[in-house]
Amino acid sequence: MSQSYAGVYVQDELGFFDNRLRLTLAGRYSYVKENDYGSDAVAKKFTPRVGLSWSVDKFTSVYGLYDVAFVPQSGFRKDGETIQPLTGNNLEFGVKRDWAEGKWNSSISAYRIFRNNVISSDPGDPTGRYVVQLGQTRAEGIEVDIRGEVLPGLTLTANYAYTDAKITKTDSSLAQKATIGQKVPGYATHTANAWLSYQLKNGALKGLGISGGLTFLLDRQTWEWYASSTYKQLPDYSKIDGAIFWEKDKIRLSFNMYNIADKYLYSGAGYSNYYYWQAEPGRNSRFGIAYRW
């Protein structure tokens, strides 16, 4: 199987009302030629992107975004049908705001993403050779981000995402192994992260800092092992990471420790053409040196 790809991308931004209103127009033309065992297949598509943002005041802005996706895919289906390109669209709205004279900033957004011909492993195939196309999936949800200075030298970064990802149309390659309304593997309904960092700004130890964070994944989905060919809800996931660092001028030294609680963690992952459960490392650490030029 061979594949050739060509594309052209253009973008322009227009400003109105002293640039308080900004309109972004963009588009991509894609041309893909694929040869699958002597049979040529050509796919071409123009995908637009439109963005609109409005500065309500000095600290607040709202925005909207619409774009279309087109991504060539490859693989083998049991029914012998050709693998179709991934297509879809994304609609997103959000609000961004600065607080406390810029010491805090936050954003909240809502989105809806439709994806057609999504590839996933064939849960009934123990060889890992075949894939299925889910027909159409829909992912929608909200995301909230906040970052700011709690006290001098102490900063907080936190975010939360709610995702509802379901199959909205089925495809013949599924062979009745999935139904409309079934959850899409690889997603967590709730994802939350929080990270605190403190750095000394004065004194003999100026530049020395310590940080730590939590990660939570709740209501996770993946394929179960191919023997049962069904979806499986994985246990909730939580992890604690931390770091000690020192900065001076252009140099940064850091010592990071991951999975501090040494918990047994695993997640659904893709390998080749199938999904499996992959264990993550136990407690581990890394030392790093960075220099800014």
- Write the DSSP assignment of 157-195 as a string of letters: EEEEEEEEEEEEE--GGGTTS--TTPBPTT-EEEEEEEE
What fold, for 2-291?
A: Maltoporin; Chain A (2.40.170)
The strand pairing partners of 284, in sequence order, are 258
Instruction: Flag whether the pTM goes above 0.85.
Output: no
CA distance 100 to 153: 16
User: 236 pairs with which residues across the strands?
Assistant: none
pLDDT recorded at residue 227: 44
How many other CB atoms are there within 10 angstroms of residue 134's CB atom?
23
- The whole-angstrom separation of Cα 201 and Cα 199 is 6
CB 62 within 8 A of CB 54: yes
Spell out the long-range contacts of 276-279 with Cβ–Cβ below 8 A and sequence spacing 24 or more.
276/225, 277/222, 277/225, 277/234
| Start-to-end CA span in the chain (Å) | 44
Residue 120 vs residues 34, 127, 134, 152: alpha-carbon distances, Å: 20, 14, 7, 48
Cβ-contact 71, 83 below 8 angstroms:
no
Tokens of 171: 């495809």
What are the residue ranges in the chain where pLDDT is below 50?
Answer: 38-39, 175-176, 225-227, 271-274
Residue 132 CB neighbours (<10 A): 26
Enumerate the H helices of the chain as residue ranges. Answer: none
pLDDT of residue 1: 53
